Amino acid sequence: MIFKNLNRIVFAGDSVTDMGSAQPVGEGLFDNLGRSYVRVIENMLYTWYPELNFRITNSGISGNTSRDLLERYDRDVLSLEPDYVSICIGINDVWRQFDVPGIPSEACTPDEYEHNLREMIERTRDKVLRLFLATPYFMEPCRADRMRARMDEYSDIVRRLSSEYGCELVDFQAAYDRFFEHKHSAIIAWDRVHPNQIGATLMAREFLSHCGFDYGHLPVEE
């Protein structure tokens, strides 16, 4: 497992990362970490690796686009001196094109999205042990759906930049697609975006599959 004792892992993103976390940065006791996949990741790390201590930080803010995240990135991510960073952003870049189409400035075009993401990668990659890039997603199995098709364009940008920069790709869209071969999206989210605890667990499992997480791990007795 890649995470070591006292490593700090910062998760940057929008509402699917935030999910009620303390603002602008959530960590520690009570519900400061929120209810998203970030909380499930912390739960799983401490449950399977009780001999280690982890500093898990939630830097998600609901409603953020990649433009918003970039504006606060130095303050809410890099200034925390993380060992690992995960970026999951882009859903609102697309969603604003559909829920407020009359205000195009609210959304981010594919070109702006790529620029913003590339800027965050450039600022981060030499400062951390590993940078995770997660695809945005839409819980719609029909790829002909207009919003799903648009989201796929943004996910493809993440996949391409992950390959270009050697980042760790966490493909949340692919994980959901596999799940929806068996279940309808209503079991996770009626709006097809904000996951319940089933979705949060699915996302945590997908993230940890890129971290050498060992479900059979037993702590060494002292």
CATH 3.40.50.1110 fits domain 8-208: yes
Does the annotation mark 184 as catalytic?
no
* 28 vs 1 pLDDT, higher one: 1
| pLDDT per residue as tens digits for the range 100-127 | 989 999 899 999 999 999 999 999 999 9
The model scores a pTM over 0.85: yes
3-state secondary structure of 41: helix
Does the annotation mark 210 as catalytic?
no
How many Cβ atoms from other residues are within 10 Å of residue 172's Cβ?
24
3-state secondary structure of 34: coil
26-35, 40-49, 163-172: lowest mean pLDDT where?
26-35
3-state secondary structure of 28: coil
Q: Per the residue annotation, which of 68, 115, 145, 194 is the catalytic one?
A: 194
Q: Per the residue annotation, which of 99, 191, 214, 217 is the catalytic one?
A: 191
Residue 7 is encoded by which pair of tokens?
């490593």
Give the whole-angstrom CA distance, residue 95 versus residue 65. Answer: 10
Give the whole-angstrom CA distance, residue 4 versus residue 164. Answer: 27
Residue 30 has what pLDDT?
81
As a whole number, mean pLDDT of residues 66-91 equals: 98
| pLDDT per residue as tens digits for the range 136-180 | 999 999 999 999 999 999 999 999 999 999 999 999 999 999 999
Residue 222 has what pLDDT?
59
Parse the chain into domains and list their residue ranges.
Answer: 8-208
Give the whole-angstrom CA distance, residue 48 versus residue 33. Answer: 19
Give 23's pLDDT tier (boundaries 50, 70, 90): confident
pLDDT > 80? residue 82: yes
Does the annotation mark 62 as catalytic?
no
Q: Per the residue annotation, which of 14, 15, 86, 152 is the catalytic one?
A: 15
The amino acid present at 194, given as its one-letter code, is H
pLDDT > 80? residue 204: yes
Longest dimension (CA), the chain: 63
